[in-house]
């Protein structure tokens, strides 16, 4: 398991919610359980409205959670061909309960 840390925001509305300055206590250790790669249109729809249910998150929401060591297990949503992405901690549905922006995730 490769653990890194990121700034998570509760109930983000858009990607801009994730890119703003954050308090240091919002930084959490995380690991990526699943990568989901979207088309340009799909990714742009997602990052500009994170308040709606997304079918691509639902099947993987069971992978999300916080383990006994405080590590957040997340889904990484990326656009095909880009190196940045959004970490999603789903609350058991297709809506991001928590999310974080990763400027360089490969």
CB 28 within 8 A of CB 72: yes
pLDDT at res. 94: 86
Separation between Cα atoms, residue 83 and residue 106, nearest integer Å:
5
pLDDT at res. 106: 66
pLDDT at res. 82: 92
Across the 106 residues of the chain, what is the mean pLDDT of every consecutive 10-residue run? 80 92 82 96 97 91 93 96 94 88 85
| Range of the structural domain that residue 53 is part of | 4-102
From the CB of residue 105, how many other CB atoms can be counted at a distance below 10 Å? 17
pLDDT at res. 1: 46
Domains contained in the chain, number: 1
């Amino acid at each position: 398991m490769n653990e890194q840390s990121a700034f998570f925001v509760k109930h983000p509305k858009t990607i801009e919610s994730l890119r703003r300055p954050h308090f240091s206590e919002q930084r959490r250790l995380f690991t990526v359980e699943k990568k989901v790669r979207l088309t340009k249109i799909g990714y742009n729809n997602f990052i500009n409205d994170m308040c709606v249910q997304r079918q691509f998150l639902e099947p993987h929401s069971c992978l999300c959670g916080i383990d006994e060591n405080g590590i957040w297990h997340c889904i990484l949503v990326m656009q095909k061909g880009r190196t940045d992405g959004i970490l999603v901690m789903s609350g058991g549905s297709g809506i991001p309960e928590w999310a974080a922006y990763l400027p360089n995730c490969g």
